[in-house]
Amino acid sequence: MKFLFNLGVLLLLIAVLYVWVHLPWYAVLALVVLFAGWMALTRRGRQAGSVTGVGISTLRQRLGSSSVVVIGIAGVVGVLVALLAMGEGYSETLSKTGSDDTAIVMRGGSASEVSSVLNRDSIVVIDQAAGIARDKQGKPVASEEIVVAANLPVKGGAPDDEGSVQVRGVGEQAWTLRPNAKIIAGRSFRPGMRELVVGQGAQRQFVGLQPGHEVKLGAQTWTVVGVFASGDAYDSEIWGDENVVADTYRRGSSRTSVFVKLTDAKALDTFKAALAGDPRLQVDVDTTLNYFSKQSEGMAKVMRVMGITVGSIMAIGAIFGALNTMFAAVAVRAREIATLRAIGFRGVPVVVAVMLETMLLALIGGLIGGLLAWLIFNGFTASTLASGTTGQLAFTFKVTPLLLWEGLQWALAIGFVGGLFPALRAARLPVTTALREL
Amino acid sequence: MRDQNSSTPEDVAMGTLIEIRDLSKVYERGRQKVEVLHHINLDIAEGDFLALMGPSGSGKTTLLNLVGGLDTPSGGSIAVAGQRIDQLGAGSLARWRASNVGFVFQFYNLMPTLSAQRNVELPLLLTKLSAAQRRKNAAIALQLVGLADRASHKPTELSGGQQQRVAIARAIVSDPALLVCDEPTGDLDRHSAEEVLGLLRQLNREHGKTIVMVTHDPKAAEYADHTLHLDKGTLVEQATA
Amino acid sequence: MKYFHLIWAALFRRKTRTILTLVSITAAFLLFGMLDAVRISFDQAGKSANGAQRLQTGSKLSFIQPLPQGLGEKIATVPGVKSVAYSNWFGGAYQDPHNQVFTFAVSDNYIDQYPEVQVSGDARKAFTNTRTGILVGEKLLEKYHWKVGQQIPLQSNIFPQQNGSKNWTFDIVGVLHPTDQSVAFYGQIILMHWKYFDDAVMKGYNNGQVGWYVVRVNDVHQADQVARAIDALSANSDHETRTQTEAAATASWMKQLADIGLIVGSIMGAVFFTLLLLTGNTMMQAVRERTSELAVLKTLGFSDQGVLAMVLAESVLLVVLGGVIGIGLAAMLIPGVSAGSGGMLNLPTVGADSWGLGVGLMVAIGLVVGAIPAWRAMRLNIVDALAGR
């Protein structure tokens, strides 16, 4: 009988947690309102309110053990939110790169720019396809680009410590195609010169990328002439003139990709069809927005899985910490609870009171954890070797409101589990034994 | 253990086990100083069974704690078998207690997590005895208090009287000369109390243990050889020595 | 040791509380075990006795820039060089372009540079004799249920064949068995013939170039010297090289991938801080409710230091018990995690290092956690405690 009851509670718990995780915030708000209504308007609700009041008023005396719940949950939420913020920042950086009215053309079947090769003939054909916007002179707005990599010394590393940076050789229209990218220091490179402009992220990561400095790409010396900011993945790149870059890397007239501006977002299909219909070409076309978003999928998933795994294991620890504290709290208050029961309070208000107390502690813990994660990690810069690129991608942690909400959900879920069993014990405590105890 | 020859008070008067001279104890309660014992002088003979009586707050437990080496006096001296225990530091005092005194408390104070056997073995952990020796000695002590068949029981599985007898077994297992008992029957029903007191008298008579017992029960005091009364920190009546 | 039963009994005085606390500690050390495995897999990648003998020579310009094949013969003449092999990135995918299978086109002697990767004599022979033959990592073979002798199609996301098709067909002739954690990567990859690759690939795509050279040196202590000599060969040419020991090269990659030390360190910091509080609270409660029992022990003649040591031992025992279970669990789970990640993570089993560090942490946490309660127990005044004050 007792076993069946426990099994039932466990199944209920799993169901509640499942629903809870998938609940949107407004549904939670509705629940809260409903619950507050029950507390205020029904007799049982008011009873629960007064029992909770008594419990909370004695929290002070149990400060030490109550803080275990708060800090335990704060730890879980802090770590979880920080790890998720890492994945969030990473995928945000990539997914806000590009737009839906610019398209990228690569050789068919290429997973990313770096593995794509387009020969001169193809490029000429692509530039003339239908759907491409034209500038005032009637020239198609397109930039043939070449993506390669360079080894440069890393800031804060040993003298021999070199990192990989993605180098992009771009055509004249590159800036028109990427209105986000703006020169913030110095000037742009001049066509035909060994000049580079560096993204602000790349500048932060590698040594010697100030305007006026010279850097060596292989045996050749290049001059950094400017810094640009785009607020997305391009920030981690270094740009130069496509012909000069191709020369340095001995790529002849082949390029890795062509970026084009579409007449409008709806022109993608026209453009795609035009290229697909040309027997001389075997290429893949996608909006740049889509292309970069897809690049982030794998790694973002890995980061999220890691965050959830670590968070789950920590949550188990925190749940048992909360159980411990709340069992102790119930034990300390066994006489008081039994007295209430003896007077005629029913089980429900007692359960509700213990649950509310735990959830309150959990809420505080969740808020502290989220706040700490936000204070410490929001804007924190990290970098990784992104898939599909040849260099390090710098990104900043993003603690978004949605992540904070997710953290709070975890906190309350931990509080719920940690409070339920002690609450049930309190409610099922045989009145007489409890009164005799202590 | 000692022989049972010294069965009468007259015989044991030859040696003094405990010599108390000018003993005082002052407690500080906040800023207030409370003198609990005033200049007590008392000799307790070897093999004596002494009952200390007196109203609450008269200082009888304090005196007992001082005799047992649980507390140190504010003034005066206590010598037990010639050893000035008031001059011992905390560490030496602990070692002294381990080999010279057995304690029996009102609420038994057994370790709730340990079996009767293990409880009795506790003081022997401080000796150099082997595990087998410890087990054997504890079994003998339990046998002596008549609880050999309860050796594996936890305290909660025993009655109050039985628990107190386990406590007595623990007190004598290391064969101390002195037993210090604080209200040993205070929590027991009449029948159990008589059993415990009979056991104490047996230990006194047959094994020569010197016993100092605090009690407020005159019936309990009747088992003792002498009774001393304390009031407001002084001995008010000294029975014949 | 004779006090062990006392400490053990005290620990399980309140079973529920102790077990709940143990689960928390277990969770913390489970996390520690797993994260430390991640950290070590990052740290130790490329570090082995054999790895120290190997140098990697790539283009100074960037890792994607090819080198001329003729350079290999020059490198072979550098004093101190034992043998030279080379490799190209092929970049295969199986069935679906997203099912990436790391495939390399290598020189015939490539596998000889890796004595810690076992290939049977027959397989070795078959590989040499089969133009389209490939050696497949054991884990990969398992994953796709391939068999030796089977013919498999691979798509290259870079290289088309002469006829323009990017679908290549290979014959599995043998299996790569990595025997050391540092080369576990070889359990997940495919090696094909560079010669076949260079012949079959569409003109203009490779032109007899190689991606990088793997050089074995005679004497580990001369590795740096040899590396400099190799780089000097191509100095001021249009294909300058950069030669590093395998360990240095791998470490540099790992570092660029993620600052794993920082991530693991931050997480474990938060976890252990929380654990300190949680276990500390348990020990405080445990000592508080045992006040009179501790006083009795003192009455019986247990010294202050003895009581201190007992409480400390209890808290250390608590943490060690939970910790050992936690790391043990991690050791059991890690193979599953490695398998479940589909080859993305190759975690080493919990080694002596992790156990050592873990047990050290357990004892340290146990001592810190027990310090205040133990101090209280030591300072406990018998008379006050017995009187319930």
C235-255 confidence digits (pLDDT tens): 777 788 888 888 888 887 777
Do A260 and A334 sit in the same domain of this protein?
no
Rounded mean pLDDT, A392-397? 84
Per the structure, how many domains does chain A have?
Answer: 2
Of C64, C91, C205, the CB nearest to A149: C64
Do A113 and A90 sit in the same domain of this protein?
no
Choose, out of A61, A62, A68, the residue to mutate when testing the contact with C (most C CBs < 10 Å).
A68
Inform me whether the C-beta atom of residue B90 falls under 8 Å from chain C C-beta atoms. Answer: yes
What residue of B is the nearest CA neighbor of C304?
B91
Q: What is the predicted pLDDT for the residue at C365?
A: 94
Do A237 and A330 sit in the same domain of this protein?
no
* Model ipTM value: 0.83
Measured between beta carbons, which residues in chain A are less than 8 angstroms from residue C232? Answer: none
What size, in residues, is chain A? 438
**Of the spans A57-61, A118-122, B32-36, B191-195, which averages the highest pLDDT?**
B191-195
Per-residue model confidence as pLDDT tens digits over C278-303: 888 888 888 888 888 899 999 998 99
d(CA B144, CA C43): 66
Using the beta-carbon criterion (under 8 Å), do A317 and C274 form an inter-chain contact? yes
SS3 state of residue C234? coil
pLDDT at A372 over 70: yes
Q: Is residue B1 part of a domain?
A: no
pLDDT at C14 over 50: yes
Measured between beta carbons, which residues in chain A are less than 8 angstroms from residue C100? Answer: 111
Choose, out of C3, C296, C298, the residue to mutate when testing the contact with B (most B CBs < 10 Å).
C296
Using the beta-carbon criterion (under 8 Å), do C61 and A67 form an inter-chain contact? no
SS3 state of residue C35? helix
The packing angle between helices B90-100 and C304-340, to 10°, is 100
Per-residue model confidence as pLDDT tens digits over C47-93: 777 777 888 888 887 777 888 888 888 888 888 889 999 999 888 88
Q: Is residue A27 part of a domain?
A: yes
**Contacting subunits of A (3+ beta carbon pairs below 8 A):** C
Of B65, B114, B123, the CB nearest to C301: B123
Q: Write a three-state SS string for C56-76.
A: EEEECCCCCCCEECCHHHHHH
Using the beta-carbon criterion (under 8 Å), do C277 and A67 form an inter-chain contact? yes
Q: What is the predicted pLDDT for the residue at A241?
A: 93
Helix (H) or strand (E) holding C93: strand C92-93
What residue of C is the nearest CA neighbor of B96?
C301
Measured between beta carbons, which residues in chain C are less than 8 angstroms from residue A65? Answer: 281, 285
Q: What angle do CA C241, A151, C117 make, to 5 degrees?
A: 65
**Contacting subunits of C (3+ beta carbon pairs below 8 A):** A, B
Do A151 and A232 sit in the same domain of this protein?
yes
Q: Is residue A286 part of a domain?
A: no
Measured between beta carbons, which residues in chain C are less than 8 angstroms from residue A327? Answer: 16-17, 20
User: How many residue pairs bridge chain B and chain C with CB atoms within 8 Å of each other?
Assistant: 67
Using the beta-carbon criterion (under 8 Å), do C63 and A65 form an inter-chain contact? no
pLDDT at A435 over 80: no
Q: Is residue B3 part of a domain?
A: no
Write down the mean pLDDT value for chain A. Answer: 86
What residue of A is the nearest CA neighbor of C89?
A115
Measured between beta carbons, which residues in chain C are less than 8 angstroms from residue B99? Answer: 301
Q: What is the predicted pLDDT for the residue at A432?
A: 66
Inform me whether the C-beta atom of residue B132 falls under 8 Å from chain C C-beta atoms. Answer: no
DSSP string, chain B: ---TT--SHHHHTTSEEEEEEEEEEEEEETTEEEEEEEEEEEEEETT-EEEEE--TTSSHHHHHHHHTTSS--SEEEEEETTEEGGG--HHHHHHHHHHHEEEE-TT----TTS-HHHHHHGGGGGSS--HHHHHHHHHHHHHHTT-GGGTT--GGGS-HHHHHHHHHHHHHTT--SEEEEESTTTTS-HHHHHHHHHHHHHHHHHH--EEEEE-S-HHHHTTSSEEEEEETTEEEE----
Choose, out of C100, C257, C281, C327, the residue to mutate when testing the contact with A (most A CBs < 10 Å).
C281
Look up residue C69 and give its two tokens. Answer: 């094949």
Rounded mean pLDDT, C362-377? 93
**Contacting subunits of B (3+ beta carbon pairs below 8 A):** C
Within chain C, residue ranges assigned H as helices are 4-11, 15-44, 49-52, 71-76, 121-129, 138-143, 194-200, 223-233, 246-257, 260-288, 291-299, 304-340, 352-379, 382-386
Q: What is the predicted pLDDT for the residue at A438?
A: 42
Q: Is residue A256 part of a domain?
A: yes
Choose, out of A217, A281, A324, the residue to mutate when testing the contact with C (most C CBs < 10 Å).
A324
Do A147 and A271 sit in the same domain of this protein?
yes
In this prediction, residue C162 has a pLDDT band, given cuts at 50, 70 and 90, of confident
Boundaries of domain holding A169? 109-281
Measured between beta carbons, which residues in chain A are less than 8 angstroms from residue C91? Answer: 115
Using the beta-carbon criterion (under 8 Å), do C284 and A64 form an inter-chain contact? yes
Per-residue model confidence as pLDDT tens digits over A46-88: 888 888 887 788 777 778 778 888 988 999 999 999 989 988 8
Do A129 and A89 sit in the same domain of this protein?
no
d(CA A268, CA C318): 65
Using the beta-carbon criterion (under 8 Å), do C240 and A82 form an inter-chain contact? no
Q: Is residue A1 part of a domain?
A: no
Using the beta-carbon criterion (under 8 Å), do C299 and B112 form an inter-chain contact? no
Question: Of C262, C282, C375, which is closest to residue C25 (Cα–Cα)?
Answer: C282
Using the beta-carbon criterion (under 8 Å), do A385 and C285 form an inter-chain contact? no
In which residue are the tokens 């310009």 written? C61
Do A147 and A219 sit in the same domain of this protein?
yes
The last residue of one of the domains, among A212, A246, A281, is A281
Per-residue model confidence as pLDDT tens digits over B75-99: 999 999 888 999 988 889 999 999 8
Using the beta-carbon criterion (under 8 Å), do A150 and C62 form an inter-chain contact? yes
Look up residue C268 and give its two tokens. Answer: 């474990």
Q: Write a three-state SS string for chain A.
A: CHHHHHHHHHHHHHHHHHHHHHCCHHHHHHHHHHHHHHHHHCHHHHHHHHHHHHHHHCHHHHHHHHHHHHHHHHHHHHHHHHHHHHHHHHHHHHHCCCCCCEEEEEECCCCCHHHCCECHHHHHHHHCCCCECECCCCCECEEEEEEEEEEEEECCCCCCCEEEEEEEEECCCHHHHCCCCEEEEECCCCCCCCEEEEEHHHHHHECCCCCCCEEEECCEEEEEEEEEECCCHHHHEEEEEHHHHHHHCCCCCCECEEEEEECCHHHHHHHHHHHHCCCCCCEEEEEHHHHHHHHHHHHHHHHHHHHHHHHHHHHHHHHHHHHHHHHHHHHHCHHHHHHHHHHCCCHHHHHHHHHHHHHHHHHHHHHHHHHHHHHHHCCCEEEEECCCCCCEEEEECCCCHHHHHHHHHHHHHHHHHHHHHHHHHHHHCCHHHHHHCC
**Of the spans B72-76, C209-213, C337-341, C359-363, which averages the highest pLDDT?**
C359-363
Beta-bridged to residue C161, according to DSSP, are C201
Using the beta-carbon criterion (under 8 Å), do C299 and B103 form an inter-chain contact? yes
Using the beta-carbon criterion (under 8 Å), do C17 and A327 form an inter-chain contact? yes
Of B99, B109, B125, the CB nearest to C296: B109
Look up residue B91 and give its two tokens. Answer: 């560490």
pLDDT at B3 over 50: no
Rounded mean pLDDT, B161-172? 93
CB C377 within 8 A of CB C287: yes
Q: What is the predicted pLDDT for the residue at B48?
A: 93
Delimit the domains of chain C by residue range: 4-45+258-386, 61-239
Q: What is the predicted pLDDT for the residue at B10?
A: 43
Do A156 and A265 sit in the same domain of this protein?
yes
Please give the biggest Cα pair distance in chain B.
Answer: 52
Using the beta-carbon criterion (under 8 Å), do C293 and B112 form an inter-chain contact? yes
Q: Is residue B2 part of a domain?
A: no
Do A305 and A275 sit in the same domain of this protein?
no
CA distance B240 to chain C (A): 31
Cα-Cα-Cα-Cα dihedral of B99, B93, B4, B203, to 10°?
Answer: -90
In which residue are the tokens 């082997």 written? B130
Choose, out of A168, A217, A310, the residue to mutate when testing the contact with C (most C CBs < 10 Å).
A310
Q: What is the predicted pLDDT for the residue at C340?
A: 67
CB B59 within 8 A of CB B25: yes
List, in order, residues 6 or more apart from B70 with CB less than 8 Å away. Answer: B97, C299, C382, C383, C386
The last residue of one of the domains, among A256, A281, A306, is A281
Q: Is residue A136 part of a domain?
A: yes
CB A362 within 8 A of CB A68: no
> What's the gap between Cα C92 and its chain centre?
25
- Please classify residue A266 by burial: count the beta carbons closer than 10 Å to its beta carbon, then call 0-12 exposed, 13-18 middle and 19+ buried: exposed
CA distance C75 to chain A (A): 19
d(CA A102, CA A122): 19
Backbone torsions φ then ψ of A18, nearest 5 degrees? -60, -50
Using the beta-carbon criterion (under 8 Å), do B113 and C303 form an inter-chain contact? no
> What's the gap between Cα B9 and its chain centre?
19
Q: Is residue A252 part of a domain?
A: yes
In which residue are the tokens 């916007």 written? A133
Q: Is residue A393 part of a domain?
A: yes
The last residue of one of the domains, among A258, A281, A304, is A281
In this prediction, residue C345 has a pLDDT band, given cuts at 50, 70 and 90, of low
Boundaries of domain holding B89? 9-237
In the Cβ-directed half-sphere of B128, how many Cα atoms lie within 13 Å? 0
Do A210 and A274 sit in the same domain of this protein?
yes
Using the beta-carbon criterion (under 8 Å), do B94 and C304 form an inter-chain contact? yes
**Do A and B touch (≥3 CB pairs < 8 Å)?**
no
Rounded mean pLDDT, C334-338? 80
**Other C-beta atoms lying within 10 Å of the C-beta of residue C159:** 22
Do A163 and A271 sit in the same domain of this protein?
yes
Per-residue model confidence as pLDDT tens digits over B7-62: 444 444 458 899 999 999 998 877 888 888 999 999 999 999 999 998 888 888 89
Q: What angle do CA A61, C26, A368 make, to 5 degrees?
A: 45
The CATH number that applies at residue B230 is: 3.40.50.300
Do A316 and A205 sit in the same domain of this protein?
no
Q: What is the predicted pLDDT for the residue at B240?
A: 44
Per the structure, how many domains does chain B have?
Answer: 1
Of A64, A249, A324, the CB nearest to C17: A324
Please give the biggest Cα pair distance in chain A.
Answer: 96
